[in-house]
């Protein structure tokens, strides 16, 4: 559970100018009323717009309807478990950052949570100041400032608002991690991202895997985007990482 000494304390977010009151929406999906109310109180005091749900199905509905910036998701929920909630959100292409908060703290539990689409994982009991820091880290990765909503490169069109990728006018299905990888690269054309940076931005701070994981997802994304378009948008900088180029090279036959 939440550290008792912090339940009645307000968390002060030291000013870096990033978090104006009620600018960021947090959804807490937690069935324990003590923990839920403590989180709600402290996060409101920190300047967040907070909504809550006491079971999985209600939480899923609120997440889909409200598109919160960050979801704090317990795993052991009545009605619908946290893993199922997370999996369904990712199936529906939800872009909310998900931090799982649970008493299940084994490596296998963490791997399972991250595999279904969680961005971070905290084990109870936890410190509210650390939780707030992790929320801020997730928000920095999804800051809406200067983010275009539609990218068009040749016959490739990426609609961030509709979560749609089309190549030559035909819809292409991409998995949640592939979508985030594409959005990360396409939003910053010409910028070189190392594998470590992509792991942090796309998978989160608790990334469990190797550079091979990044390479496999890049290959799958290339097959879907470049295989149909005939252009090499995602370019490899050997030994350094990947970048997205506005002026693509023709894909080798």
> Residues 69, 25: contact at Cβ < 8 Å?
yes
CATH code assigned to 4-141 = 3.40.50.2300
**CA-wise closest residue to 238 among 220, 222, 209, 215:** 215
Q: What's residue 48's pLDDT?
A: 86
For range 190-210, the mean pLDDT: 75
pLDDT surpasses 50 at 178:
yes
Mean pLDDT of 154-163: 78
- Pairing state between β 170-171 and 164-167: antiparallel
Does the pLDDT value for residue 18 go beyond 50? no
* pLDDT tops 50 at residue 47: yes
Q: Where in the chain is the domain with CATH 3.40.50.2300?
A: 4-141
How confident is the model at residue 228, as a pLDDT?
56
CATH number of 150-250: 1.10.10.10
* pLDDT classification of 58: cutoffs 50, 70, 90: very high
Mean pLDDT of 197-226: 79
Cα angle 174-180-181, degrees, rounded to a multiple of 5: 90
Better pLDDT: 49 or 16: 49
- Lowest-pLDDT range of 11-15, 63-67, 208-212: 11-15
Output DSSP code: residue 69. Answer: S
What value does the mean pLDDT of the chain take? 78
> In this structure, are residues 72 and 27 in contact, taking their beta carbons and an 8 Å threshold?
yes
Separation CA 103–CA 105 (nearest Å): 6
Q: Residues 227, 245, 208, 26: is their CA dihedral positive or negative? A: negative
Q: Which residue has the higher pLDDT, 253 or 87?
A: 87
E strand or H helix that includes residue 58: helix 56-66
Task: Give CATH 1.10.10.10 domain extents, the chain.
Answer: 150-250
Candidates 172, 170, 154; CA nearest to 221 is: 172
């Amino acid at each position: 559970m939440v550290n008792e000494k912090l339940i009645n304390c307000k968390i002060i977010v030291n000013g870096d100018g990033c978090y104006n009151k009620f600018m960021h929406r947090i959804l807490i999906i937690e069935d324990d009323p003590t923990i839920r109310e403590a989180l709600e109180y402290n996060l409101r005091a920190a300047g967040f717009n907070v909504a809550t749900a006491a079971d999985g199905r209600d939480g899923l509905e609120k997440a889909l309807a409200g598109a919160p910036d960050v979801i704090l998701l317990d795993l052991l929920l009545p009605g619908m478990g946290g893993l199922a909630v997370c999996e369904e959100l990712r199936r529906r292409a939800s872009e909310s950052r998900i931090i799982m908060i649970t008493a299940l703290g084994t490596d296998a539990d963490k791997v399972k949570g991250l595999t279904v689409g969680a961005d971070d994982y905290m084990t109870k009991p936890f410190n509210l100041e650390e939780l707030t820091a992790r929320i801020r880290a997730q928000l920095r990765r999804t800051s809406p400032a200067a983010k275009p909503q539609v990218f068009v490169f040749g016959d490739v069109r990426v609609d961030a608002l509709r979560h749609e990728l089309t190549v030559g006018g035909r819809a292409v299905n991409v998995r949640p991690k592939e979508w985030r990888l594409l959005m990360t690269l396409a939003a910053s054309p010409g910028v070189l991202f190392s594998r470590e940076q992509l792991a942090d931005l796309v998978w989160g701070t608790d990334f469990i895997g190797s550079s091979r994981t990044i390479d496999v997802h890049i290959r799958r994304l290339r097959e879907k985007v470049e295989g149909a378009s005939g252009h090499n948008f995602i370019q490899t900088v050997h030994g350094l990482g990947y970048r997205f180029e506005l002026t693509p090279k023709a894909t080798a036959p």
